[in-house]
Amino acid sequence: MCACFYLPDQKRSALSFFTMGSSCSNNLGIPPGNGPNAVGCTDFMMDHTAEGTFFRLYYPCQEMESAEKPDWVPCKEYFNGLADFMKMNRALSERIFNYLFGSFKIPAYLDAPFKSNEKCPVIIFSHGLGAFRTLYSAICAEMASQGFIVASVEHRDQSASATYYFCDKPESERSNEWMYYRALRHGESEFPLRNKQVKQRADECILALDKLTEINSGISVQNVLETQFDWSTLKNSMDLCRIAVMGHSFGGATVIEALCKEVKFKCGVALDSWMTPLDDEIFPRVKQPIFFINSEKFQWAGNISRMKKLDSAVIQRKMITIRGTVHQSFPDFTFLTGNWIGKLMKLKGEIDPELAIDLCNNATLAFLQRHLGLEKNFNQWDPLIDGEDENLIPGTNVNLLQHHDL
């Protein structure tokens, strides 16, 4: 299920054959956070329009023994969206996906009471092409366990495999309107669509931050999802001088666009970014530090050369590559398939998935401490920022010498 990021059409259609061979394993599951805090999660939907923001919030919470952990895939419509994205039959794929992934849970307690002894720095997270708000829970739960409040946005630009909003009708008639992934039409150029989408995505990240700012100030907000979480407990909970934006693939491009549009984001972490959606003209306008964390198998010279256009003599721009990883080493799917089917579907690389995500998360935490001015112990992982580990490559493994469009 590479349905969380850029994936060529020919590989996408081949997955329907590969998926049939997998079986569930009791040893599979999304790793919980390693930090000192228990992790809670809840959902927030701003209003009854497609223009409002919708996100999954991860946060430090009270220890809970009996609290429920939510399903990793919230409902069958998301399976339908994944099927559309991967060009598979909906009825068949729903049964396959439900068999493979229907039993997995998010490593966080649903609607658990917020608890933190200090103000929490904030991360806005942007998902990849064909993904949705729950598919990066290993990363988001780790950040929350380390004391961050993380809003994982579900984008409504038709780049998510599925999302929804509630129409503004009387309660007895209220229904949710589903929006599914929009594929490129025959003969359609990719850049105009993706550039329009990345701009909307950045706006949605900023809107999520605006809503968190209101919540932090104690303004009463309407959550149309009517969850059990008490949003008033988040008053004065956030350190809004310490905000970062983070994302994977298309979400990595969204990081760059959001940094350009909103200076409240103090730095960005871009995971295996897909740079195609971005206008070259925005690169010199980005003034904040950026950390590119790449997989070994996804990147190519043209894409890396666009990242290099963000190099600066005065602003820290770092890049590392995790050995043995593939593009799908960042979303949760990598933890939820067995070894042979995972490698066949390119959901797993040669490296252990938990080692890879730990390297990614620890390097991210060190970078965030450095550029958000945190007083934590994340600087123990400072060497990772420079690729100083046997499983890291400083910079890139991609040869740029043959590439002339620099």
pLDDT for the residue numbered 170: 63
pTM for this model (two decimals): 0.92
**For every one of its 406 residues, what pLDDT tens digit does the chain have, with 9 covering 90 and above?**
334 544 444 344 434 333 333 444 457 999 999 999 999 999 999 988 888 899 999 999 998 888 899 999 999 999 999 999 988 999 998 898 888 899 999 999 999 999 999 999 999 999 999 999 999 999 999 999 999 999 999 999 999 999 999 887 666 566 789 999 999 999 999 999 999 999 999 999 999 999 999 999 999 998 999 899 999 999 999 999 999 999 999 999 999 999 999 999 999 999 999 999 999 999 999 999 999 999 999 999 999 999 999 999 999 999 999 999 999 999 999 999 888 888 887 889 899 999 999 999 999 999 999 999 999 999 999 999 999 999 999 999 999 875 444 4
pLDDT for the residue numbered 17: 35
CA quadruple 277, 44, 42, 214: dihedral sign: positive
Q: What angle do CA 249, 321, 355 make, to 5 degrees?
A: 95
Tell me how far apart the alpha carbons of residues 50 and 163 are, in angstroms, rounded to a whole number. 10
What are the residue numbers of the active site?
Answer: 249, 272, 327
pLDDT for the residue numbered 60: 98
Q: Which residues contact 159 (CB under 8 A, 6 or more apart)?
A: 129, 130, 181, 182, 197, 201, 250
pLDDT for the residue numbered 3: 42
- Say which CATH class 39-70+105-394 falls into: alpha beta
pLDDT for the residue numbered 67: 86
The domain spans of the chain are: 39-70+105-394
Give me the phi and psi of 336, to 5 degrees please: -115, 10
Return the closest-CA partner of residue 137 out of 252, 26, 55, 211: 55
